[in-house]
Structure 1
Amino acid sequence: MPYLELSGFGSVTLIRTFDMRYDLISALVERWRPKTHTFHLPYEECTITLQDVALQLGLPINRNAVTGVSSISRSATLCYDLLRRLPSKGKFTGLRFSWLKANFEHFPSTASEWEAMHAIPTYIMHLIGGVFMLDTNGNKVHLVYLSLLSNSHNIRLYSWGSAMLTMLYREFCRMTDPSAVDIGRCLILLQSWALYQIPFLASICHQSYIFPLVTKW
């Protein structure tokens, strides 16, 4: 936990879980307008803002942009330097969650400080790919994020909240295409935001407010 706090991801480890209401999510996405990036409801327009991200998740929103190259030439070297393990031989672009679970699910209580430092990137990669920027397949996370986790002191210097909201906006816009089927990204944020900002939905869904998603800062 001290290393996660240092990296700026300490609060998101305390996210509360709840049942997803995909009927609610579908209804909201149907009311999304790509030109304005807002939900058009019968009585007003509204949208998820960076302030909502900061309050709900505690992620930084006003720091360096999360960016990188789409293709990493030395993917094996990057993985071994940070994780001390290789998922496969040859070139690869992402880490499968099944591999992360098989290699890092159990963290020994007797682990050294050095081992704890190397466990941080794997935990954050799972948060990024499994919660914040979940793709429609939901089976792996891109290596571009791993390249930003090489230094635990620098991780908190990136605006992870802004990147997550950008990806969520793009996913909403993609879903306006009639041929689109599955939706990804941070849907827990969308549902929690909706139940807080549109209070009557909580009674309809028979669900209490879930705001914020984290239990403490």
Structure 2
Amino acid sequence: MARTRSLGRAISRVIGRDKKDDHDAVDVPKRRRPTALARRQRVHQMTQDVPDMTEDVPDMAEDAPEMTGDVQGDDGAEGSHADDAEGFSGGPRDPSVLTSFADHVAHAVWSGHVTLIGRPVPEIEGLVGATGLSPLIGCSVVTGDPGLIFAFVERWHSETSTLHLPIGELTLTLDDVSSLLHLPITGAFHNFHALSADKAIFLLTELLEVSAEEARAEIARSRGAYVRLGWVRDIYEMRCQARQWIIAARAYLLHLVGCTLFANKSATYVHVVHLDAFRDLSQSGGYTWGVATLVHMYDQLDETSRTTT
């Protein structure tokens, strides 16, 4: 694994043990915000340091958006003008820097396509707590570090179910699930069977009490036995308003596991099959959720570690 001085300096600064290194001071340039002004200044520096690249530099400068002056935002940082018309609400104001941000899960959250329910209403806290899934309330797929996850995926080997790290081989066990997520690892197993579209519609109408037309439209939208997390959230809010607490608890729990234990790469949909585990909430707490989590994670790591995924 390659070592970088900048990473070590960053870590040492966080823990308050920064040691000055003359070589680092020379090799590592001062970090600046990726604004158009900063890019033009870097291009100007390149023209001075590398004369034989002069012909290519103007093309790089022409690609940068024009700025009439040094724009400072409320925080005093260059290029963070609060009145910019372009950009994303709650996200980067300069789309030319983060060109793929439109497909980022954070954009989906800010635009309302993916929203988190938060803590359950007091009337169903007991029902949710009895399932053993309450520790997941503070977790979410959008709070993870995608770069860190991908780093582990690249080091996963399905033949041995281990992570090959510089420190040696590492495996994830039920004890890790219990210690980190505080989920039960003993109890009964719940069998999840493959669902057809008709079976998924039946589960939605039976357990969430939505109309067959609404369930059919939602299933057709996802082209499979999946429903949108935002749609499940709306069902939860409507059932809370109608004081239908059992149904509200089912919708809440389906949304919860869809954002955490059984999250997929869409970060938008949850499989309807998990709803069957909340048919009888008095029995849901007896399931080995920790085992299901570990098995699901192993399957997903095996899938994502393939080049075809």
TM-score by length of structure 1 reads 0.71
Identify which of structures 1 and 2 has the higher relative contact order when contacts are C-alpha pairs closer than 8 Å and 6+ apart: 1
Q: Which residue of 2 aligns with 1:34?
A: 158
Q: Which residue of 1 aligns with 2:57?
A: none
In structure 2, C-alpha distance between the alignment counterparts of 1:178 and 1:17, rounded to whole Å = 23
- For residue 145 of structure 2, the aligned residue among 17, 21, 28 is 21
Q: Which residue of 2 aligns with 1:71?
A: 195
Contact 1:76 1:90 in 2 (8 A): no
Cα displacement string for residues 72-91 of structure 1 (whole angstroms, at most 9, x for unaligned residues): 54433422232122343379
Please say if 1:120 is aligned against 2:252. Answer: no
Cα displacement string for residues 165-194 of structure 1 (whole angstroms, at most 9, x for unaligned residues): 1111111111221232xxxxxxxxxxxxxx
Structure-2 change in CA distance of 1:19 and 1:146 (3 Å): closer
Cα displacement string for residues 91-132 of structure 1 (whole angstroms, at most 9, x for unaligned residues): 942222131123324775x764xx112111111111121211
- For residue 83 of structure 1, the aligned residue among 195, 208, 233 is 208
Please say if 1:152 is aligned against 2:277. Answer: no
1:4 Cα shift? 0.9
Contact 1:75 1:91 in 2 (8 A): no
Structure-2 change in CA distance of 1:98 and 1:15 (3 Å): closer
Structure-2 change in CA distance of 1:74 and 1:18 (3 Å): closer
Contact 1:95 1:143 in 2 (8 A): yes
In structure 2, C-alpha distance between the alignment counterparts of 1:7 and 1:33, rounded to whole Å = 33
Q: Secondary structure at the match of 1:40?
A: strand
Cα displacement string for residues 8-28 of structure 1 (whole angstroms, at most 9, x for unaligned residues): 222322448985332222222
Q: In the alignment, residue 201 of structure 2 is paired with which amino acid? A: A
Question: Please, which runs of 5 or more residues in structure 2 have no aligned partner?
Answer: 1-124, 220-224
Structure-2 change in CA distance of 1:158 and 1:61 (3 Å): same
1:162 Cα shift? 1.0
Task: Tell me which moved more, 14-23 or 40-49.
Answer: 14-23
Structure-2 change in CA distance of 1:64 and 1:4 (3 Å): same
Contact 2:233 2:251 in 1 (8 A): no
In structure 2, C-alpha distance between the alignment counterparts of 1:16 and 1:96, rounded to whole Å = 16
Q: Which residue of 1 aligns with 2:59?
A: none
Q: In the alignment, residue 248 of structure 2 is paired with which amino acid? A: A
Please say if 1:100 is aligned against 2:232. Answer: yes
Q: Which residue of 1 aligns with 2:115?
A: none
1:68 Cα shift? 2.4
Q: Secondary structure at the match of 1:89?
A: helix
Largest Rg, 1 or 2: 2
RMSD: 2.6
Q: In the alignment, residue 138 of structure 1 is paired with which amino acid? A: A
Task: Tell me which moved more, 84-93 or 162-171.
Answer: 84-93
In structure 2, C-alpha distance between the alignment counterparts of 1:97 and 1:12, rounded to whole Å = 16
Q: Which residue of 1 aligns with 2:175?
A: 51
Q: Secondary structure at the match of 1:147?
A: helix
In structure 2, C-alpha distance between the alignment counterparts of 1:18 and 1:179, rounded to whole Å = 24
Q: Which residue of 1 aligns with 2:291?
A: 162
Q: Secondary structure at the match of 2:291?
A: helix
In structure 2, C-alpha distance between the alignment counterparts of 1:60 and 1:145, rounded to whole Å = 17
Cα displacement string for residues 32-83 of structure 1 (whole angstroms, at most 9, x for unaligned residues): 1111111111222112211111122121222222322212544334222321
Percent identity reads 25
Q: Secondary structure at the match of 1:5?
A: helix
TM-score by length of structure 2 reads 0.51
Structure-2 change in CA distance of 1:94 and 1:178 (3 Å): closer
Q: Which residue of 1 aligns with 2:25?
A: none
Q: Which residue of 2 aligns with 1:184?
A: none
In structure 2, C-alpha distance between the alignment counterparts of 1:75 and 1:174, rounded to whole Å = 24
In structure 1, C-alpha distance between the alignment counterparts of 2:276 and 2:148, rounded to whole Å = 36
Q: Which residue of 2 aligns with 1:190?
A: none
In structure 2, C-alpha distance between the alignment counterparts of 1:67 and 1:136, rounded to whole Å = 23
Question: How do 1:116-195 and structure 2 match up within 5 A?
Answer: 116-180=245-309
